[in-house]
Amino acid sequence: MIGIMDRRPPAGRPRRTAGPGPAVALAGLCCVALLVLQSEPVGAAGSSPPVPPGSVKSSLLTPLIYPGGGIDAFGDASGGMAADVALRGNDPSFNAPVTAMATAPTGDGMWLAGADGSVATTGDAAFHGTVANLTLNGPIVGMAATPTGGGYWLVALDGGIFSFGNAAYEGSMGGHPLNQPIVGMAGTPTGHGYWLVAADGGIFAFGTAQFYGSMGGKPLVESINGMAPTPTGAGYWLVAGDGGIFSFGNASFFGSMGGKPLNDPVVGMASTGTGDGYWLVGWDGGVFTFGNALFHGSAANGPAAAPFIDIAPTPDGGGYWLLEPDGFSSTFNDPPGGSSPIVAAAASQIQPDPDQGYFCNPYGPCEEWCALFATWAWEQGGVPIPSYAFTGNIFTWAAQNTGVLPPTATPAPGDAVLYGTGPASTSTSVHVGIVAQVWPDGAIDTIEGDAGPGDAGSLAVVVNGPFLPADSLSYNGFGIYAYAEP
């Protein structure tokens, strides 16, 4: 059985094609020149009228509030966790995006991990520790709980492992060279070992976790985004961004989304309690079921245009939770020095498309608006840049007034990250975002407008990352050609 799907993006719409399974990433709609889009229809009756070029609605001076709860429940999954998360936990707020979740063995609790190592709890999930007080070399991208719920592991992008409670440290890839960054992990059924999976499908086994094979060194259509072990621990599945499934050990193949149309990439998976099926979740909240995994609903085609990054089933398989990280507040001031007025302005807008109508938004005319959003954020931070509709104009203005950096440079919070191959045209300069955080290992988080899941013309301001800029082509679907300094 297959869940809701088949909302393929319109031609020319870049989308995220690979990246961390538990971590968030984005698919932005291309920004194009104002002259190209002035003839586009405004949309349905009652939508906001076009705003004259260069103007910004005064309502933007008031921060907008994202309406999502962060956790969407389906089937017999408890919907109360979403409200509880906002009230409980030893790290109730996150200085970086939420990147992973793990559920308690009872199905009545949950742990959430932030990229900065924060851990929040809900229900009967007990708090066992955090690394939020440490300076991490790389952001946290995944977590796994022990079978008893008495502990958990956190894994960083560089393969570093942090263990808490009865989760024993069995080794890590921290300090070892990796062909591709770590994107997720899974614990063994005994709780005495764990697997790490990299974006190229490489598998690293520690403790009692056995190596049954990997996709490392083999050609992939899209990068690996997550994994799930079998109930016995004698095998595992890997899932790629195109929905392709790779089975190892005693993990049976029950089908995949590989080669089928997807609106957005598959970002995570979970197996049933018997190991005779699995669920896949897409970045737009679409859920796909195989084997004895039952479909209980999805967030695809729903009102919230927010990215989803993970799925976790209830113990009986009668429901599941989907995690949407943009439903939680992030301050973006860890690592230290990461905050700026530009970042604060951009972060205040994280939410679905605020207006109705085809590409109508508060940042300028009714048109594709990632560049309008980025220049608005700079304006709010005191940078006298015009409101540009074309991303290449941001490069040109910065080159003449403030400065530009090559894609190999280390950016700073508030810089504009320019995607594509160069500023010459709309086909070479395709998208832009605001750098929100820069990690010691070079990974970045960005805030990007006119992006995320949703039909064309009804997108969002979302958090993208963490990702390594050198991996942007595989992670985002397009590379980085420059950073513009404000």
Q: Is 425 exposed, middle or buried (0-12, 13-18, 19+ CB in 10 A)?
A: middle
Q: Is 405 exposed, middle or buried (0-12, 13-18, 19+ CB in 10 A)?
A: middle
What DSSP state is assigned to residue 456?
Answer: T
Query: Which residues, given as ranges, of the chain have pLDDT below 70?
Result: 1-69, 79-93, 301-306, 334-339, 352-356, 454-455
CB 242 within 8 A of CB 267: no
DSSP calls for 426-445: TTTEEEEEEEEEE-TTS-EE
- 3-state secondary structure at position 342: helix
pLDDT reported for residue 303? 52
- Spell out where 23-126 has E strands: 71-75, 98-103, 109-114, 119-123
Sign of CA dihedral 423, 427, 433, 437: negative
Dist. CA 282–CA 5, nearest whole Å: 9
Strand pairing category for 109-114 and 98-103: antiparallel
Q: What is the CATH code of the structural domain delimited by 71-327?
A: 2.130.10.10
Dist. CA 252–CA 275, nearest whole Å: 8
Q: Which long-range contacts (CB under 8 A, 24 or more apart) does 124-131 make?
A: 124/149, 125/149, 126/150, 126/165, 127/89, 127/90, 128/152, 128/164, 128/165, 128/167, 129/164, 129/165, 130/90, 130/91, 130/164, 131/162
Q: Is 179 exposed, middle or buried (0-12, 13-18, 19+ CB in 10 A)?
A: exposed
- 3-state secondary structure at position 201: coil
Number of H helices, E strands in the chain: 6, 25
- Spell out where 218-339 has E strands: 224-229, 235-240, 245-249, 266-271, 277-282, 287-291, 310-313, 319-323
Residues 6+ apart with CB under 8 A from 87: none
pLDDT reported for residue 81? 63
| CA separation, residue 65 to residues 116, 215, 347, 369 (Å) | 23, 41, 10, 19
pLDDT reported for residue 453? 72
Nearest to 361 by CA among 459, 240, 231: 459
pLDDT reported for residue 348? 86
The phi and psi torsions of 375 (rounded to 5 degrees) equal -70, -30
The enclosing H or E element of 476 equals: helix 472-476
Nearest to 395 by CA among 373, 419, 370: 419
- 3-state secondary structure at position 461: strand
What DSSP state is assigned to residue 292?
Answer: T
- 3-state secondary structure at position 23: coil
pLDDT reported for residue 420? 97
pLDDT reported for residue 238? 98
pLDDT reported for residue 352? 67
What ranges do the domains of the chain cover?
Answer: 34-65+333-484, 71-327
DSSP calls for 173-188: -TTS--SS-EEEEEE-
Nearest to 20 by CA among 480, 467, 477, 478: 467
pLDDT reported for residue 359? 79
pLDDT reported for residue 129? 92
Dist. CA 52–CA 107, nearest whole Å: 52
